[in-house]
Amino acid sequence: MNSKKLVSTIFIMAVMTLVVLNMTVESMYAAGEPARPQLDIVKAPFGETPSGEAIDIYTLTNAAGMSARIMTYGAIVVSLQAPDRDGNFDDVTLGFDTLDGYFKDSPYFGAIVGRYGNRIGDAKFVLDGETYTLARNNGPNALHGGVAGFDKRVWDAKVVRHNGQPALELSYVSEDGEEGYPGKLRCEVTYSLNNQNELTIEYRAKTNEATPLNLTNHTYFNLRGHQRLGDILGHELTLNANWYTPVDDTLIPTGEILSVKGTPMDFTSPHPIGERINSDDPQIKIGGGYDHNFVLNKIEADALTFGGRVYEPESGRVLEFYTTQPGVQFYSGNFLDGSNVGKGGVAYQYRYGFCLETQHFPDSPNKSQFPSTILHKNEDYHQVTMYRFSAR
């Protein structure tokens, strides 16, 4: 074969290979089927704050059809579509249809809370010999970062590549002295959704002066889904926690770390949330249900470990979470009372949602026996929590 013939034979073979390959791909996506699925992030405007700042909402979609909508106000997860056992998608989080809903009395629906998620006793702490006084926005205590915590701030957003996939990076700079906290703090929160239906939240921060820091996400879940919303008492919860931190009657930890054994706090094997929620246990009475920090069983501190699982028997939906954090606040929606009218005009009644706020222990700045929450100058803060959705 002369060289001209050889070149044309190779060319014809290459064209034929491409045609065959293309046919295979085409036959997988027959005419009329939806476009080829892929990981995608789409930005849209979501309104303005009362002071006129523009807010955007980003929709993260994966190849399995799951989607998460996250906005730049409060870095809030506005909705999360997850499949049930028959493959039907529904929104499994509480929140509002419009931005305005979040300005009046949102109980932290979907938000990133900071600087200090959860409570600081007597709204005070001492750091390096200096006393810092915070706003008392929860009885005598400081809750969730103050009057205007990170949940009420406008975050900058950009779409980045994270572990080879598109992700949404939100950043916020908290000025020195904001809400009474020391140091100028830069925070980055990265949301990513992969094709295994895992929503990962990665937190990073740096400060120019030592400050307490306890970032978490305050999403309220209801795995029944919005179309069949009801209370969460039938959801079965497992927590990888042999210990918890009991609280006083203002929900500040007493400082003890107690075993869950033989108490309604024992979720080391699955129990419906409602099974023991009306018991006479003094801790349950104080919390008005569950509103407690559980100490996660860790083999290695700071490693991403299994935190727990929630199963909703009617839909078959399962939520599992993994975290690098030492604790999780399990809150059974005890303060919901129907006054928040949310997505689709649904009034969120008593215990219509639960939260699993992965975190450091409450009041750590005043409890030297708890793992430290102080971020020192130029230190790197890094935490990861992953929520995995499935159905059975």
- Positions touching ligand GLA (CB under 6 A) are 107-108, 118, 143, 251, 291, 329, 331, 335, 355, 357
Question: Cα(150)–Cα(302) distance, rounded to whole angstroms?
Answer: 23
> Residue 118 Cβ, how far from ligand GLA at the closest point, in Å?
6
Q: Least Å distance between CB 329 and ligand GLA?
A: 5
Residue 180 or 253 having the CB closest to ligand GLA? 253
> Cα separation of 230 and 227, whole Å?
9
Task: List the end-to-end C-alpha distance of the chain, in Å, as a whole number.
Answer: 61
Shortest distance, position 301 Cβ to ligand GLA, whole Å: 23
Per-position b or e across 117-144, b if 16+ CB within 10 A of its CB: bbbbbbbbbebeeeebebbbbbeebbbb
- Cα separation, 78 vs 63, in Å, equals 20
| Catalytic residue set | 218, 357
Coil, strand or helix at 329: strand
How far apart are CB 319 and ligand GLA at their closest, in Å? 17
Q: Judged by CB, which is closer to ligand GLA: 306, or 335?
A: 335
At a CB cut-off of 8 Å and minimum separation 6, what does 18 contact? none
Q: Which is nearer to ligand GLA, 89 or 335 (CB)?
A: 335
- Which of 387, 60, 328 has the alpha carbon at shortest distance from 199? 387
Q: Of the two residues 311 and 331, which places its CB atom closer to ligand GLA in the complex?
A: 331
What is the smallest separation between the CB atom of 265 and ligand GLA, expressed in angstroms?
A: 15
Q: Nearer Cβ to ligand GLA, position 72 or 293?
A: 293
Helix then strand count (H, E) for the chain reads 2, 28
Cβ atoms 107, 340 nearer than 8 A: yes
Query: What burial class does residue 21 get, using C-beta atoms within 10 Å of its C-beta: 0-12 exposed, 13-18 middle, 19+ buried?
Result: exposed
